[in-house]
Amino acid sequence: MDKLAKNFASLNDEPAFWEAANKHLTRYGPAFEEIIVERAEGSFVYDADGRAILDFTSGQMSALLGHTHPDIVATVNRQMASVAHLFSGMLSRPVVDLAARLAALAPGLDRVQLLTTGAESNEAAIRMAKLVTGGHEIVAFAQSWHGMTGAAASATYSAGRRGYGPATAGSLVIPAPNAYRPRFKNPDGSNDWQAELDDAFELIDRQSTGNLAAFIAEPILSSGGILELPVGYLAALKKKCEERGMLLILDEAQTGVGRTGHMFAFQRDGVTPDIMTLSKTLGAGLPLAAVMTSAEVEQKAFERGFLFYTTHVSDPLPAAVGVTVLDVVARDGLVEQAIARGNRLKEGLLSLQQRFECVGDVRGRGLLLGLEVVADRHTKAPGFELGARIMQEAILRGLSMNIVKLPGMGGVFRIAPALTVSDSEIDLGLEILADSIESAQLAR
Ligand SMILES: Cc1ncc(COP(=O)(O)O)c(C=O)c1O
């Protein structure tokens, strides 16, 4: 312990750090966690006291291989020392390698543009869809998150719509299917998502000015509370798009690169989108995104003069990281591991549901799971406060999880550990979660 440390109970409380943070940092979202993170490794981040905190959100749902994975560290060092960034019109080997590798993994999506962030990839996808279809109307789910920039923010409905002036003209919305809280029901009480989809598109057709360009969707709406599109939904959605001459854009920022137990989530459904965007997981924590489309759509876009020219397009450093991510995922069988570890985690969460009345629902697949906290199991009344308390108890006990709060839903924990998570780390997380729920309930 150094000299300074002796003056506070915890090194996380260092006054100079927090004074500077409070004075100089812009507050861009929910409150900052009250710890100082010094380093991270594998499934854990370590605070200023050296305390290990199990990271069940893989950073911002991105550190697919855990933190500071040795292969990523080696690639960054190697590539940084040869070439990291170039004039945007220059090509390098990692860029062409990554494009070819991605295309081989997603037959029918042969053309790839490498960018930086999720929002940016969705900007490019939406821009391309507008140019190719000649339309401008973009339909999205009412619980979506596609990013914080112009067109992506206009297609984001789960948060942040108020106070920023008009969204892009032609921003249309439909409800996402929610099996736990169905709006349309089959006679047996299950979700009649087809009736809901038909009804929604009837409204889209009434609102549209005849300029539909694309539907943008997450295969599992993450910020929307881990709402999984049921089997058959994507095919039905694609049909709705085709009937109207719209493109289907799938945003696989969180679901891509193995997390759901398929390389890409859409592969479960056998429905290839017209455009797919990848980000978060592709760079495993470094800023890398890809926009993938068919040769046909790319050709049409090219003929119409497609322009999406950015400073970091086709940069070799993040591309080399992307190649390493794909190498490690294949070498270590991480797609299969996402299924096995995901099953273990889901079984554990389901047993928490048996044990605690406040666990209303457990959902998701692979290693992208959700646990909805309710105040009342029978009425399904939202349990926001209890959820927030559970989250606080968890971080005190060394588990970091993220809770989303959306109107009409309980607080939903999004649980997305790294694909490299071990069985014992999963068990540890479940144990801490159980203790946290117990303690939060007692504090009621
Ligand atoms: C599905 C999805 N798309 C896009 C984004 C935006 O990505 P970024 O924050 O990298 O711009 C996010 C971020 O949370 C996301 O979850």
Instruction: Give per-10-residue mean pLDDT for the chain (444 aa).
Output: 59 97 95 95 98 97 98 98 98 98 98 98 98 98 97 96 96 98 95 98 98 98 96 98 98 98 97 98 98 98 98 98 98 98 98 97 98 94 92 95 80 96 98 97 78
> Where do the DSSP E strands lie in 16-170?
37-41, 44-47, 52-55, 111-115, 137-141
Structure-token pair, residue 188:
């047996």
Question: Residue 442 has what pLDDT?
Answer: 83
Query: How confident is the model at residue 197, as a pLDDT?
Result: 98
Predicted local confidence at residue 7, as pLDDT: 58
SS3 412: strand
Concerning whether 110 is annotated as a catalytic residue, the answer is no
Contact 218, 144 (CB under 8 A): yes
Q: How far is the C-alpha of 62 from the C-alpha of 65, rounded, in Å?
A: 9
Q: Is 251 a catalytic residue?
A: yes
Please tell me if the CB atom of residue 252 comes closer than 6 angstroms to any atom of ligand 1.
no
In the chain, what is the greatest distance between 2 CA atoms, to the nearest angstrom? 70
3-state DSSP assignment of residue 207: helix
- According to DSSP, residue 191 is labeled B
Which pLDDT score, from 0 to 100, does residue 1 have? 44
Contact (CB, 8 A) for 436 and 358? no
Q: What pLDDT was estimated at residue 5?
A: 47
**Residue 18 falls in the annotated catalytic set:** no
User: What's the 83 CA to ligand 1 centre distance in angstroms?
Assistant: 27
- d(CA 24, CA 340) in angstroms, rounded, equals 44
Amino acid, res. 57? T
pLDDT number for residue 407? 75
Could you say which of 130, 254, 337, 346 is catalytic? 254
State the pLDDT at residue 406.
77
Atom of ligand 1 nearest to the CA of 252: 1
* Ligand 1 centroid to residue 63 C-alpha, Å: 14
344 is a catalytic site residue: no
Q: What's the gap in Å between 107 CA and the centre of ligand 1? A: 24
- Please, how many CA atoms are within 13 Å of residue 243, restricted to the half-sphere of its CB? 11
Distances (CA, A) of 74 to 68, 77, 325, 434: 10, 5, 12, 38
The pLDDT, as a whole number, for residue 410 is 73
- pLDDT for residue 405: 77
* Environment class of 303 (CB within 10 Å of its CB; exposed 0-12, middle 13-18, buried 19+): exposed
pTM over 0.85? The answer is: yes
